[in-house]
Structures are given as C-alpha cells and as structure tokens.
Amino acid sequence: MKAIAVRPPQKNSVHVAELPMPSLDTVPNGHGVLAKVLKVGVDATDREINEGLYGNPPEGSDFLVIGHEAFAQVVEVGPHVKRVQPGDLVACTVRRPGCSIYDQIGRNDITSEEVYFERGINLRHGYLTEYFVDDQRYFVKIPKGLRHLGVLAEPASVVTKGIEQAYLAQQRLQVWEPQRAFVLGAGQIGLLAAMMFRLRGLDVHVFAWSKAEGNLKAEIAGQYGARYVSTQEQSPADIAKEVGRPDLIFEATGRSDQAFGAMEYLGLNGALIWSSVTGGDHHVDVPGDKINLEWVLGNKLLVGTVNGNWRHFEIGISDLALGEQMFPGVTEQILTHPVDGLENYQQMMDLLETGKCLKVFVNVAEESTV
C-alpha cells in the first residue's frame, strides 16, 4: 500500500513509499486493531520534518512515514479487543511508550526519557498511508455525529492537555477562579483554545498579526464569542492595560519571542501555557530582571503542552462535541484546505509551505457503511 514518507535529515525528501499491508498479529494478546485511514491533518510539524529540522525513521527503515493526526475507521479487531469494533470511527494517539515509570502507567505523553517515540514524527511510522494497525489502548472513539470534526481530535487533545495541566497545577492556589484569557496566535490551536476557554466561561481575547477585516480567523474567533485583536493595531500589553491582565495565556504562535513576551503581562497568580514547538535557533531579548521579579512576587506559573494521551483525546473530543452544540457549524470552518488523495502529497506540502493555510488535511478514503 501507498504511504507518504520523508528521509530525515534530508531536505524536501517527501515522496511516495510502499508499505506492506499491516497485520493484526503484530500486536500481542489479541489486542490489535486494523484501521482504514479516512483523513489525516497536517501541520507545521510535518513541514519542519520535511525541512529536515527533526524526525527520525523507525529502526531498520531508511524513511519515515509522516502524518500524526489520524481520523480512521476500524476494519478488523483482534479476539480480545473491547474498546472498539469494526465500523467505529476513531482517532489514534501519537506517542508510544518507552520504559520510564510514566510510560508504564499510560502517561507516555510525559515520559522522562530523552528518546521518545511518536507516530509520524520520531522513530515510528505515521498515518499518511492507507491502513494501520495498533494496540486498542491507543484508539479513541469518535461519535458518528462528530465525523466532520474527527480530523481535529489530535490538535484538540494538545489544547485540552494544556488547559487541564494549567488547571491542575493551579490547585496550588486553593482558590482560583480565572476570568480572563488571552490566546496568542489564531491558527488551529489558538482557535481551539479560544473555543475551549469560552466553554469554560472565560472572557477571551485572541491575538494575531492579520487585520480583522475579511479575515476568516477573526470571524471564527468572533463566532466563538471571543474578541479578536490584530497585533498591528494593539498589543496584548495594550489590551491588558485596557481590560486587566489575563489569568490565563495560551501561547500558540510558533515564535519564541511571543512565548517569552507573554511573561511580561500575565496577571498575578496567573498561568501561561506554551504550545509552540520552535524548531529553529532564534535568540530573544527579554527584560529578565523585571520578569524574574514579577514572576516570583506574583506567584506565576508556566506550563508546556506537548502530545496528548488517550484521556486528553477523550476530553478534546468532548469539548469538540460541546463546542458544536454551543457554536453550531463554527469549528468546521477551521478545515480550510482539503487535499484529495495521497497521490497529491506535493500539493499538501506546497500548501503547508505557504504558511498561510489555517488547516491542511488529506482526504485519504471514504468511510464505509458497515
């Protein structure tokens, strides 16, 4: 079967590779699930892997199949599979366990080992192919009524993980009732964060470079009931002066200057969530003394979010479902750039390289009626 692969650290090596049809017996204890890939979302991670910035093939392979945001349909299950059955719509987590204590208790998303295994990213083949097999414990069911948003399950899991980690860590304060959130960046992650903060009753301000007029991202933010601010007109620090400092900041800009800059206007006792994975080597200048002083005196918290485990996928899917009830038809507008068929992988990469598409995803196959 066909797969879309790269040869890291070679630049621009994206190509079609041939993989054998996967088999259920490769998973022990009768826990295997064979799934047909329906759609795969792609993002800056896939682009950067193709640029040779990171990513490694599995041992014994000279290529890595990319794609880590899978929406699939179960085709066949091993004799001891309970979680899913043929016909079910599913997402599948990205990271696979190593040996640390966290990996052993199902928290491979916070492994304490340097080497991590991520499908489509590091040392494990991804989902830009026709079929894949994995252990049932990595699959998460997607309700049929949410099939149109299924390809957003993985990004949603990263956002919910960040929010959950911040709320958990804020229990240190004993009483914490956040009122105001700033979201930096209006890509898929920023917009999903805005939606999830709105679902939690917060006053949300979304910041991005582009002006609001005729701008889909601003429109989506507005439809979620968030205020969109172009940073060409007003900075987050300006807005903090106007409405008060935020209790929460979700940073999703892909830029370390913005990530560090956010430390300057977070409110007292506030939490800053970083989600950018900056693959470059930029240096940034920050007023270190001032930040150090204010962070210590103001009891502020910084937490990063990378990679959700199956529980974060479940919360993410619930949030997508609740969001659909609260803001019908809004979230699907994030899905701006479909690419039809694996064979159009070059178009997929070209779209990613423009850096201007809200969400690129590949339609791999049609759902079967079972």
- Which DSSP letter does residue 309 get? -
- Output the six-digit token pair for 180: 């105001």
Q: Is the CB of 88 or the CB of 118 nearer to ligand BGC?
A: 118
Q: Single out the residue of 33, 90, 121, 351 in contact with ligand BGC (rule: CB under 6 A).
A: 121
Q: Does 277 bind ligand BGC (CB under 6 A)?
A: yes
Residue nearest to ligand BGC (CB): 307
Non-local (6+) Cβ contacts of 342 within 8 A are: 2, 3, 4, 16, 128, 129, 130, 362, 364
Q: If contact means CB under 5 to 8 A according to the sort of partner, which of ligand BGC, Zn ion, none does residue 51 touch? A: none
Min dist CB 233 to ligand BGC, Å, is 30
Count of alpha carbons within 13 Å of 249, Cβ hemisphere only? 32
Q: Does 93 bind Zn ion (CB under 5 A)?
A: no
Count of alpha carbons within 13 Å of 9, Cβ hemisphere only? 2
Q: Single out the residue of 53, 306, 321, 365 in contact with ligand BGC (rule: CB under 6 A).
A: 306
Q: Does 48 bind Zn ion (CB under 5 A)?
A: no
- Which residue's entry shows tokens 């850096």? 355
- Total residues binding ligand BGC (CB under 6 A): 11
352, 46 in Cβ contact below 8 A?
A: yes
Non-local (6+) Cβ contacts of 81 within 8 A are: 30, 31, 32, 33, 136
Min dist CB 94 to Zn ion, Å, is 8
Burial class for 25, CB neighbours closer than 10 Å (0-12, 13-18, 19+): exposed
Part in contact with Zn ion (CB under 5 A); list of ranges 40-48, 116-124, 210-218, 266-274: 40-48
- Which residue's entry shows tokens 């797969």? 3
Min dist CB 179 to Zn ion, Å, is 30
Euclidean distance between CA atoms 344 and 16, whole angstroms:
10
Q: Is the CB of 67 or the CB of 270 nearer to Zn ion?
A: 67
Q: If contact means CB under 5 to 8 A according to the sort of partner, which of ligand BGC, Zn ion, none does residue 212 touch? A: none
Min dist CB 154 to ligand BGC, Å, is 6
Non-local (6+) Cβ contacts of 211 within 8 A are: 218, 230, 232, 233
Euclidean distance between CA atoms 335 and 149, whole angstroms:
8
Q: If contact means CB under 5 to 8 A according to the sort of partner, which of ligand BGC, Zn ion, none does residue 103 touch? A: none
Helices (H) and strands (E) in the chain, counts: 10, 19
- Which DSSP letter does residue 122 get? B
Q: Single out the residue of 22, 35, 38, 43 in contact with Zn ion (rule: CB under 5 A).
A: 43
Euclidean distance between CA atoms 88 and 136, whole angstroms:
12
Q: Single out the residue of 6, 8, 45, 126 in contact with Zn ion (rule: CB under 5 A).
A: 45
Q: Does 118 bind Zn ion (CB under 5 A)?
A: no
Q: If contact means CB under 5 to 8 A according to the sort of partner, which of ligand BGC, Zn ion, none does residue 258 touch? A: none
Q: Residue 138: which of 152, 150, 154, 162 has the closest Cα?
A: 154
Q: Does 307 bind ligand BGC (CB under 6 A)?
A: yes
Q: Which residues of 260-269 are buried (b: 16+ CB within 10 A; e: fewer)?
A: bbbbebbbeb
40, 127 in Cβ contact below 8 A?
A: yes
Part in contact with Zn ion (CB under 5 A); list of ranges 35-43, 173-181, 185-193, 317-325: 35-43
Pick out residues in 27-86 that bind ligand BGC (CB under 6 A).
43, 45, 68
Q: Does 110 bind ligand BGC (CB under 6 A)?
A: no
Q: Does 118 bind ligand BGC (CB under 6 A)?
A: yes
Min dist CB 290 to ligand BGC, Å, is 31
Min dist CB 66 to ligand BGC, Å, is 11
39, 59 in Cβ contact below 8 A?
A: no
Q: If contact means CB under 5 to 8 A according to the sort of partner, which of Zn ion, ligand BGC, none does residue 94 touch? A: ligand BGC
- Total residues binding Zn ion (CB under 5 A): 2
Sites of contact with ligand BGC (CB under 6 A):
43, 45, 68, 94, 118, 121, 154, 158, 277, 306-307
Sites of contact with Zn ion (CB under 5 A):
43, 45
